[in-house]
């Protein structure tokens, strides 16, 4: 009984899924940082004050949160997961030679490498259900439909990627079967010369112990040792897998670059949550390339790359500096400090401003005395707070309601609008509509449609640009 218990304990501890997780913590802890950010975001532990969790839990596409928006997020999420699988396969498969003898080695690897992605998917779905039910007050059928959209997007991307490897990857036996009969016989008798095959140094690298692994269609199987195959043959097959994985990653990046050219089309402005996954995908591909090509020198290579980018950025070679149209950037910039500001303002200018402001106040007083027959009309100053789109929407809504409740008297008594950030955008938008109405333009500035306009999504285009456009073409106008 004791021996049997020990045997099954070894089967569990030395199972391929667990060994892959241990390997990630030991060899590639930086890669786990991306998963940490994702887990922290959906659990409200990261970026809550900036609304990052809501981008993932309530993705908006074309002003709607629905099946399609979750489908797109699911597709992008699967792109990140498959990039994770491809990268870890390229970096770690040489530690597990038994993969070369399995059917569809990459597919088997993905299945066994799914503990972390599966855990995130479960947590993500639970958080979506809680948010949609409690915060968005959605019906159960709507929530279920959204989750189905997320999973179908996942499935479509995973099937597409898997088919690529099924069609182009081959295991050792498939490789042998493609040889001529004479070559097969020579190979089996260990007479074939494989020195011409390029292979890495995995024969000097210790193979990690694995007793069991998950095998499609989802059953546990004992590892079939591959040491009866010629080592160079195994390396040849694994190198072919790495080449295919490398090509797929390049194709993915190329597709994202092409996609970025058509961002002006509103249908291609992805939900911000999807852009987060795509941004992580690009970063993951970059860091996996650095790790794969430089191995033990990856830290030094990364530091050197950062120094190079920082140096080139000073000369506006690879990083585009945004400029305001109409300003002269050829002349030397004026030094900005208290002395410069004070020198730019003279006593004469200050006195002129005071006189001009008094004239404006006198005109305001005269107008309101005449209109409302009050000796001392109320003078209103409006100060708005910042807070992004939420502050823009709230400020515009409050000004609309106050104008309605005061029978359009609010802005007659308002002398100054000030504030910061999003709040000022809402105030400026309302003031512009008010002025146009004063100029007899045929608009109803108190109509609810303007509030809906100011509340429309503006983030999808920005995040899509960051993920797909700015990384590769920082100077492109969008």
pLDDT at residue number 425: 92
Instruction: Assess whether pLDDT exceeds 90 at residue 402.
Output: yes
pLDDT at residue number 432: 94
Q: Can you tell me the mean pLDDT for 338-358?
A: 90
- Is residue 471 very low, low, confident or very high in pLDDT (cuts 50, 70, 90)? low
Does the model's pTM come out above 0.85? no
- Give the tens place of pLDDT for each residue, 278-291: 989 888 888 887 88
pLDDT at residue number 229: 53
Structural domain boundaries in the chain: 2-316+461-470, 339-446
pLDDT at residue number 236: 65
Q: Can you tell me the mean pLDDT for 88-110?
A: 82
C-alpha dist (Å) from residue 6 to 3, 9, 10, 222: 5, 5, 6, 16
Q: Can you tell me the mean pLDDT for 139-153?
A: 96
- Is residue 162 very low, low, confident or very high in pLDDT (cuts 50, 70, 90)? confident
Instruction: Assess whether pLDDT exceeds 90 at residue 254.
Output: no
Higher per-residue confidence, 88 vs 245: 88
d(Cα 105, Cα 97) in Å, to the nearest integer?
A: 10
User: ω into residue 217 within 30 of 0, thus cis?
Assistant: yes
pLDDT at residue number 202: 42
pLDDT at residue number 283: 86
CB 278 within 8 Å of CB 270: yes
Q: Token pair for residue 15?
A: 């199972």
pLDDT at residue number 201: 43
Q: In 3D, which of 214, 99, 117 has the Cα closest to residue 165?
A: 99
- Give the tens place of pLDDT for each residue, 412-440: 899 999 999 889 999 999 999 999 998 99
Instruction: Assess whether pLDDT exceeds 80 at residue 194.
Output: no
- Is residue 309 very low, low, confident or very high in pLDDT (cuts 50, 70, 90)? confident
- Give the tens place of pLDDT for each residue, 10-28: 888 999 999 999 999 988 8
| Average pLDDT of every residue of the chain | 82
CB 403 within 8 Å of CB 437: no
pLDDT at residue number 180: 44
């Amino acid at each position: 009984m004791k021996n049997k218990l020990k045997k099954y304990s070894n089967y569990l501890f030395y199972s391929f899924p667990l060994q892959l997780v241990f390997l990630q913590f030991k060899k590639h802890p930086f890669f786990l940082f991306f998963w940490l950010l994702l887990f922290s975001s959906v659990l409200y532990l990261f970026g809550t004050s900036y609304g990052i969790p809501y981008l993932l839990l309530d993705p908006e596409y074309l002003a709607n949160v629905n099946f399609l928006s979750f489908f797109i997020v699911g597709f992008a999420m699967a792109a990140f997961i498959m990039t994770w699988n491809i990268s870890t396969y390229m970096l770690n498969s040489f530690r597990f030679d038994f993969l070369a003898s399995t059917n569809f080695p990459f597919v088997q690897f993905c299945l066994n490498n799914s503990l972390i992605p599966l855990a995130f998917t479960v947590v993500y779905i639970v958080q979506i259900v809680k948010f949609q039910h409690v915060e968005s007050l959605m019906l159960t059928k709507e929530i279920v439909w959204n989750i189905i959209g997320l999973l179908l997007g996942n499935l479509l991307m995973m099937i597409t990627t898997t088919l690529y490897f099924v069609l182009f990857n081959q295991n050792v036996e498939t490789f042998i079967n493609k040889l001529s009969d004479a070559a097969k016989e020579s190979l089996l008798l260990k007479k074939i010369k494989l020195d011409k095959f390029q292979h890495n140094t995995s024969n000097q690298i210790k193979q990690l112990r694995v007793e069991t692994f998950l095998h499609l269609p989802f059953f546990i199987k004992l590892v079939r040792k591959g040491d009866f195959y010629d080592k160079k043959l195994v390396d040849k097959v694994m190198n072919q897998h790495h080449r295919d994985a490398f090509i797929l990653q390049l194709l993915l990046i190329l597709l994202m670059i092409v996609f970025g050219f058509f961002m002006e089309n509103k249908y291609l402005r992805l939900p911000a949550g999807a852009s987060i996954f795509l941004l992580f995908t690009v970063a993951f591909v970059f860091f996996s390339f650095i790790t794969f090509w430089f191995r033990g020198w990856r830290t030094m290579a990364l530091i050197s790359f950062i120094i190079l980018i920082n140096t080139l950025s000073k000369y506006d070679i690879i990083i585009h500096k945004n400029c305001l149209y109409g300003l002269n950037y050829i002349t030397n910039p004026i030094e900005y400090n208290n002395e410069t500001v004070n020198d730019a303002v003279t006593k004469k200018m200050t006195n002129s401003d005071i006189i001009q402001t008094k004239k404006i106040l006198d005109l305001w007083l005269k107008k309101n005395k005449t209109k409302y027959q009050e000796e001392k009309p109320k003078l209103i100053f409006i100060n708005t707070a910042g807070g992004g789109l939420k502050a823009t929407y709230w400020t515009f809504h409050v000004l609309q309601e106050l104008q309605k409740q005061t029978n359009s008297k609010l802005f007659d008594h308002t002398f100054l609008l000030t504030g910061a950030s999003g709040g000022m955008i809402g105030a400026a938008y309302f003031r512009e509509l008010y002025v146009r109405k004063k100029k007899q333009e045929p608009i109803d500035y108190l109509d609810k449609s303007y509030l809906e306009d100011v509340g429309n999504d503006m983030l999808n285009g920005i995040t899509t640009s960051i993920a797909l456009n700015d990384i590769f073409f920082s100077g492109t106008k969008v």
